């Protein structure tokens, strides 16, 4: 039987440029009871990003101290920067019955799959490599070398797709958001069903 007092852990993953952030923000606009786990990162904020909202921007030294103290459920080096999810962030919300959404890279998602029995993993997939490249360029925030590195990493990440519970193809934003919402509803209803 599902633990009805505890929230559900959803992990949204997939290559950068797949549109994880955009899809996740839309899902949050539509659904209540979800909590976004704000990752720590050593990368510099992009224009418009806010500390404590988009990320917790911290120096590399503080990040590594947290690694040593075992504060992270998962962490990874992504495109030369460190990113991590705090155990405290996830557990505090799950314990009060909130469903928690992690939006993380594939290396991190695989660590969470190893450590947590109970999670719902969703791979958000770009429609094609050409489209992924177009989206990475459209951001305008990365130089050519960074774009090339992100594309190379994306191909490696796509190889892990079979390990996920669900795959959502982001060929159309509204459709991808609806599919993501159906997945959330499916597990929420399943938990309710377990109570019968
Ligand atoms: P960006 O720098 O574009 O915001 O993120 C780069 C990549 O790092 C994205 O794929 C993003 O999902 C991932 N990422 C963000 N937060 C975390 C985290 O806490 N852990 C891991 N493993 N990856 C993360």
Q: Which of 11-25, 49-63, 142-156 has the lowest mean pLDDT?
A: 142-156
Q: What CA–CA distances, in Å, run from 143 to 48, 137, 147, 164?
A: 19, 9, 6, 31
Ligand 1 centroid to Cα of residue 78, in Å, is 7
In 102-124, which positions are buried (b, 16+ CB within 10 angstroms) versus exposed (e)?
A: bbbbbbbbbbbbeeeeebbbbbb
Q: Given a cut of 60, is residue 122 above it in pLDDT?
A: yes
Q: How confident is the model at residue 194 (pLDDT cuts 50, 70, 90)?
A: low
Index of the ligand 1 atom closest to the CA of residue 13:
12
Q: Given a cut of 50, is residue 1 above it in pLDDT?
A: no
| Per-residue pLDDT, 140 | 73
**CA–CA gap between residue 91 and residue 131 (Å, rounded):** 36
Ligand 1 centroid to Cα of residue 141, in Å, is 15
| 105 Cβ closer than 6 Å to some ligand 1 atom | yes
| Ramachandran area for residue 142 (φ above 0: left; ψ -120 to 50: alpha; else beta) | beta
The DSSP 8-state label assigned to residue 104 in this structure reads -
Kind of pairing, strands 81-86 and 40-41? antiparallel
Q: Right CATH number for 9-191 from 3.40.50.1820, 3.30.450.20, 3.40.50.300, 3.10.20.30? A: 3.40.50.300
| 108 Cβ closer than 6 Å to some ligand 1 atom | yes
Ligand 1 centroid to Cα of residue 194, in Å, is 34
| Per-residue pLDDT, 4 | 59
Tell me the mean pLDDT in the region 58-66: 98
Q: How confident is the model at residue 16 (pLDDT cuts 50, 70, 90)?
A: confident
Q: Which of 39-48, 54-63, 65-74, 187-196 has the lowest mean pLDDT?
A: 187-196
Q: What is the enclosing helix (H) or strand (E) of 132?
A: helix 129-139
Chain segment 181-190, per-residue pLDDT in tens: 999 999 999 8
Tell me the mean pLDDT in the region 140-150: 82
Kind of pairing, strands 40-41 and 56-57? parallel
Q: Which two tokens stand for residue 34?
A: 């979800």
Q: Given a cut of 60, is residue 3 above it in pLDDT?
A: no
| 37 Cβ closer than 6 Å to some ligand 1 atom | no
Tell me the mean pLDDT in the region 165-187: 97
Domain residue spans of the chain: 9-191
| Per-residue pLDDT, 26 | 97
Q: Given a cut of 90, is residue 133 above it in pLDDT?
A: no
Q: What CA–CA distances, in Å, run from 105 to 3, 29, 92, 181, 182?
A: 27, 22, 22, 20, 22
Q: Give me the torsion for CA of 160, 24, 142, 125, rounded to 10°.
A: 30
Chain segment 95-110, per-residue pLDDT in tens: 999 999 999 999 999 9
Ligand 1 centroid to Cα of residue 114, in Å, is 18
């Amino acid at each position: 039987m599902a633990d009805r007092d505890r929230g559900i852990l959803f992990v949204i993953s997939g290559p950068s440029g797949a549109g994880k952030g955009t899809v996740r923000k839309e899902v949050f606009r539509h659904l209540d009871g979800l909590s976004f786990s704000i990752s720590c990162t050593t990368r510099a904020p992009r224009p418009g990003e806010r500390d404590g909202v988009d990320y917790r921007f911290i120096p590399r030294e503080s990040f590594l101290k947290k690694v040593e103290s075992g504060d992270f459920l998962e962490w990874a080096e992504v495109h030369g920067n460190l990113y991590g999810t705090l155990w405290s962030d996830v557990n505090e919300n799950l314990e009060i019955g909130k469903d928690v959404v992690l939006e993380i890279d594939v290396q991190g998602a695989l660590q969470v799959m190893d450590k947590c029995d109970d999670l719902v993993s969703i791979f958000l997939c770009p429609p094609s490599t050409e489209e992924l490249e177009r989206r990475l360029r459209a951001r305008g925030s990365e130089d050519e070398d960074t774009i090339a590195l992100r594309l190379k990493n994306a191909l490696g990440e796509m190889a892990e797709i079979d390990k996920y519970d669900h795959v959502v193809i982001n060929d159309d934003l509204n459709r991808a958001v609806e599919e993501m919402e159906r997945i959330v509803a499916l597990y929420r209803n399943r938990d309710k069903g377990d109570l019968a």
